[in-house]
Chains A and B, each alone.
Chain A
Amino acid sequence: MEVLTYLLEGFRIAFIPVNLFYAFVGVFVGTLIGVLPGIGPAGAISILIPISFRIPPVSAIIMLAGIYYGAQYGGSTTSILVNIPGEASSVITCLDGYQMARQGRAGSALGMAAFGSFIAGTFSVIGLMILAFPLAKVALRFGPPEYFGLMVLGLTIVTYLVRGSVLKALQMAVLGIFLSSVGMDVMVGTPRFTFGMIDLADGIGLVPLVMGVFGISEVLINLEQPLSRQIFETKIRGLLPNLKDWKDSKWPIVRGTLIGFFLGILPGGGAVISSFVSYAVEKRVSKHPEKFGKGTIEGVAGPESANNAAIGGAFIPFFSLGIPPNVVMALLLGALMIHGVQPGPLILKQHPDIFWGTVASMYVGNGMLLLLNLPLIGLWVKILKIPYPTLFPLILLFCLIGSYSINFTAFDILVMVFFGIIGYILRKLEYEFAPLVLGYVLGPMLERSLRQSLTLSDGSFLIFISRTISAVCILMSIILLLTPLIPYLRKRREVLTREVEE
């Protein structure tokens, strides 16, 4: 009953005209950046974070969350029509979606992607509502060792799940933790690695870092190649999937939803991994695995459901533990903290409006997306035709404004450019940035909980083994880190990575 009362209150908040407006802005911008290759939800949220300072925290998180799940919807459009994934989580949709488009079934693919996303998105919001409460109650009993264990596990999972080398991912995660230590010491206030620069006293900004390694480096990589893009011209008709499409897609949608939701909860999981796992599962369980990659609708329905379901799942550790499981959630955490709201077990008591308002707005936003995506596909296709020589200066300009507007200092632009160059070089050497950013975001929390735990235990590391939750987390982390050393498991992982890349 209590949940229902809160949910109704959430809907009251979500239906306030100003919140409806911000939800619409969020899902519209999300779909737009999902459609446009080259700027992901992390980049778009970074750009809009400064804007969110000027609006109430509930409206801000409603808008920023809308960008996140909107981008998953939009990303599929480019994958299907152009064979260019707008989002990393839509990479796998290219395989069958584009083939369907070539066979004249672009409408069915786009329609099923939108419906699958809607169904999965709605289910994951229900799951979030059910699971966040009990988890938050348990989390109230967590102390520094438990938080330390959970964060170590999160970082380990994100390094384990990268597509490339685990060793490189570990280097990036540790570098992220180090970068988070630049600035004032979290406990005693001593300046660290600031080189006497006042601009570094507050540390390296999250937004310049994220925009540099994700936005600027992506543009630089594209710039060194020819800038023309081929758009596959096809007539899009029949956006409503037929009965056979539904029959073929119903179980992939169910499986994709479950996979996405539960992988989304895991720190380091998220939309990208979920879509890949869903595709692999569908291929495995299919009676016709040879049809995958040649235009089968299961290859669109499963991954597109999974990447949307992962969003609701990702909000569970965010709201109930205060731990962001991926880069985008890390940005949302930063945005809420600027508003003076600390996500974590107490948020449900102290700011129920933010939690329930967001949950209810996600129902509303999913409905808006369905309405936006199907009738507006023509518009998204037109946007896709913006030539890259016109698009990339605008992407760079938004990155510049985004990083300047956080602290109103040009120093942040230089920081962004610096990380853009680092990102450009490291991309070429196949380093991935999710572990870096997660390490950076979790760094201060990790440091605080480690130092507090050691103070509590009189300097004994045994405190992490004597507490059940931290012991389990650390044991799981050790197992995960050791698996690449076991030849059989290493080979399995390499085979899976190769399959996904193929």
Chain B
Amino acid sequence: MIRKKYQRVCNLLWLLTSLTICVASIQLKLGTLTDPGPGFIPFGTGLLLLFFSLAALLREGREEVKEEGPWIGPYWKRVITTIISLSVYALILTRLGYLLSTFLLMIFLFWTPGYKKWTVIIIKAVLSAGITYFVFNKWLDCQLPQGIFGF
């Protein structure tokens, strides 16, 4: 039943999204049929989404509930911390540079599943940051960010 509850919330969000798209598209100008404007297609997609979302809401009650496992796995905290770490990485990447920020991120990611040996974690983090830096920046000339420390 939990999945059904989330599905209802999701369907309502679809509905809200489609209405927002329709309103925003009208503000962009729909144009005419002979000369469609920039809001024409987004408005069409908004209308279609609205139609499908309403259909999904109406169908909801008739769908049979399948036997299912728990909605969230036992290690859901890892998901949250990984999302936060990736977002922080995006914010510090250009400031700290590729090598340092990647080293820090990899330490965190290797540590996440519960590794205890810090030496192993640090070696893995150094190797993964160093090798990818060499391959992408030096060999493939990918211009990874240097950051304030210049590396």
**Could you tell me which A residues sit within 8 Å of B by CB distance?**
50-51, 54, 167-168, 170-171, 174-175, 177-178, 181, 185, 187-188, 190, 192-193, 216, 219-221, 223-227, 388-390, 392-394, 396-398, 400-401, 404-405, 408, 410-411, 413-414, 417, 420-421, 424-426, 428-429, 443, 446-447, 450-451, 454-455, 458-460
Contact = CB atoms under 8 A, between A and B. Distances in A.
Nearest to A401: B136
A323 to B, nearest CB: 18
Contact of B45 (A174, A392, A414, A424): A174
A170 B42 CA distance: 15
B149 interface: no
B54 to A, nearest CB: 10
B55 A223 contact: no
Interface string B53-82: 101100100000000000111111011001
Contacts of B142: 50-51, 401, 405
Contacts of B102: 397, 400
A175 B49 contact: yes
Q: Is the interface of B mostly helix, strand, loop or mixed?
A: helix
Nearest to B39: A192
Contact of A405 (B7, B24, B136): B136
A224 B72 contact: yes
Contacts of A220: 79, 82-83
B110 A397 contact: no
Nearest to B50: A174
A296 B56 CA distance: 41
Interface of B: 3, 6-7, 10, 14, 21, 24, 28-29, 32-42, 45-46, 48-49, 52-53, 55-56, 59, 71-76, 78-79, 82-83, 86-87, 89-91, 93-94, 102, 105-106, 109-110, 112-115, 124, 128, 132, 136, 140-145
B34 A223 contact: no
A455 B86 contact: no
B74 A393 contact: no
B5 to A, nearest CB: 11
Most chain A beta-carbon neighbours within 10 Å: one of B14, B42, B86, B128 = B86
Contacts of A425: 10
Given A400-B105, A460-B33, 12 more contacts: A171-B52, A175-B45, A181-B45, A225-B75, A400-B89, A408-B145, A410-B94, A413-B89, A417-B87, A420-B86, A428-B3, A454-B36
